[in-house]
C-alpha cells in the first residue's frame, strides 16, 4: 500500500480545537434506512452518546466492536443522518486506504472520557 498524500498543514491551534476522548462502545445497532451507517451507544464515563459510524460495509459483523474502547471526536456539532442524530465521530482506521479497518484504541484500558493529547 502506498500512503495517501499528507493533507495541508494544520496549526497547533487547529488541533487544540478538537476534543478527542476515549469511550467504550456499549452497543452497536443497525440504522435500517442506511446502507453505510450503524448506531453506536458510547459510554464516556459521565454520560452516554449516540454516534453514527459508516462501518456497516467495512465489517462482516459491525457488532464485533461492542465492548471495545476507541477514540472519538466529541465536540462536533450534532448532525442528523438517516433520521438519527449523531453526537460525535469514531476514529476508524484503514478503510479509506483499502486496508482492513481497525479501531484507534488505547494500548491499555483507560477511564472512559480520558482526553487524547
CATH of the domain at 22: 2.40.50.140
How many whole angstroms separate alpha carbon 10 and alpha carbon 45?
30
Domain-located, residue 89: yes
How many whole angstroms separate alpha carbon 100 and alpha carbon 80?
27
Domain-located, residue 96: yes
How many whole angstroms separate alpha carbon 95 and alpha carbon 33?
22
Q: In which domain, by residue range, is 48 found? A: 16-103
- Count the domains in the chain: 1
Domain-located, residue 77: yes
Residue 70: pLDDT above 90? Answer: yes
Domain-located, residue 11: no
Residue 94: pLDDT above 90? Answer: no
Domain-located, residue 114: no
Looking at residues 32-52, what average pLDDT do you find?
97
Residue 117: pLDDT above 90? Answer: no
Domain-located, residue 8: no
Amino acid at each position: 500500500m502506498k500512503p495517501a498524500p499528507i493533507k495541508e498543514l494544520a496549526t497547533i491551534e487547529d488541533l487544540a480545537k478538537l476534543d478527542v476522548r476515549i469511550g467504550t462502545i456499549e452497543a452497536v445497532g443497525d440504522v435500517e434506512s442506511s446502507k453505510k451507517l450503524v448506531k453506536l451507544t458510547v459510554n464516556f464515563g459521565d454520560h452516554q452518546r449516540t454516534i453514527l459510524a459508516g462501518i456497516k460495509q467495512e465489517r462482516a459483523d459491525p457488532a464485533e466492536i461492542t465492548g471495545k474502547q476507541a477514540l472519538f471526536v466529541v465536540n462536533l456539532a450534532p448532525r442528523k443522518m438517516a433520521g438519527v442524530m449523531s453526537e460525535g465521530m469514531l476514529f476508524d482506521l484503514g478503510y479509506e486506504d483499502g486496508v482492513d479497518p481497525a479501531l484507534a484504541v488505547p494500548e491499555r484500558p483507560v477511564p472512559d472520557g480520558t482526553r487524547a493529547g
